[in-house]
Amino acid sequence: MDAPFLTPAELVRPWRRATFVAGTIAALELIALLGAGAMLLARPISHEIDKAAVASIESTPVAQTKQLQTAIKKMNAPAGKTHPRAHVKIMVLNGNGVNGAAGTAATRLHHLGYPIAGTANAKRQDYATSVVMYRPGFRADGMKLAKAIGVKVVGPLDGIPASSLHGGELAVIVGA
């Protein structure tokens, strides 16, 4: 028997490797089991969240839902009658940051027969598209103007006080 004796360090090393490999496999199995458990629990939890959301909506006061329904009806209501172009003043606001954009748009609108209340810069200069806004009672005129100049976004005055329109009924914000 000419085989050398193994030192104590050599006897321990295979056990260290085996322990490390077994521990890694056990950790991976634990992660897989936790993932499977989360998948099994996710569906009942999502159903409970849905039930809570429905219960919350059903418990809202009737007045609040009536206000919402009224607002939706107003948005979908027919536009109404338009006024003659000569009687609808327009405030033109530059919302794209290009010098002279509001003036150019105002000239175009003036050639269409609209009186111009004034031109100014909008509070923001990052409008991606042009917008037509109208005061109460001028929805039909706003839609008519938007169609005439090819603007697709039309809505009531939002964020612009009526006093800043300088007597205008419509506001056009020139976008990019």
Q: Residues 20-46: what's their mean pLDDT?
A: 90
Mean pLDDT of the chain: 83
Whether 55 and 101 share a structural domain = no
Considering only CA atoms, which of 176, 148, 26, 35 is closest in space to residue 90?
148
Which structural domain range is residue 137 located in?
85-174
* The pLDDT value given to residue 156: 85
Residue 131: CB atoms within 10 Å: 22
Confidence grade of residue 32 (pLDDT, cut at 50, 70, 90)? very high
Give domain status of residue 101, yes or no. yes
Confidence grade of residue 55 (pLDDT, cut at 50, 70, 90)? confident
Task: State which of 56-60, 80-84, 145-149 shows the largest mean pLDDT.
Answer: 145-149
Q: What is the amino acid identity at position 137?
A: G
Give domain status of residue 110, yes or no. yes
- Rounded CA-CA distance 69/140 in Å is 21
Number of domains in the chain: 2
* The pLDDT value given to residue 76: 59
Residue 107 sits in a domain whose CATH number is: 3.30.70
Q: Report residue 86 as tokens.
A: 């000569």
Q: Is 7 or 120 the better-scoring residue by pLDDT?
A: 120
Is pLDDT above 60 for 35? yes
Whether 48 and 116 share a structural domain = no
- Rounded CA-CA distance 74/83 in Å is 19
Q: Report residue 120 as tokens.
A: 């100014």
Q: What is the tally of helices (H) and strands (E) in the chain? A: 4, 5
Confidence grade of residue 172 (pLDDT, cut at 50, 70, 90)? very high
pLDDT in tens, 92-127: 999 888 898 999 999 999 999 999 999 998 888 888
Given the structure tokens 């175009």, which residue do they identify? 108
Q: Report residue 84 as tokens.
A: 């003659």
* The pLDDT value given to residue 27: 96
Whether 25 and 89 share a structural domain = no
The answer for 111, left when phi > 0, alpha when psi is -120 to 50, beta otherwise, is alpha
Q: Residue 119 to residues 51, 72, 93, 101: CA-CA distances in angstroms?
A: 52, 32, 6, 10
Q: Residues 23-29: what's their mean pLDDT?
A: 95
Residue 156 CB contacts under 8 Å (≥ 6 apart), including other chains: 133, 134, 135, 136, 139
Q: Report residue 44 as tokens.
A: 């009942």
* The pLDDT value given to residue 77: 57
Query: Hey, CA dihedral for 6, 7, 11, 17, is it positive or negative?
Result: negative
Whether 54 and 92 share a structural domain = no
Q: What is the pTM of this model?
A: 0.56
Give domain status of residue 71, yes or no. no
Give domain status of residue 31, yes or no. yes
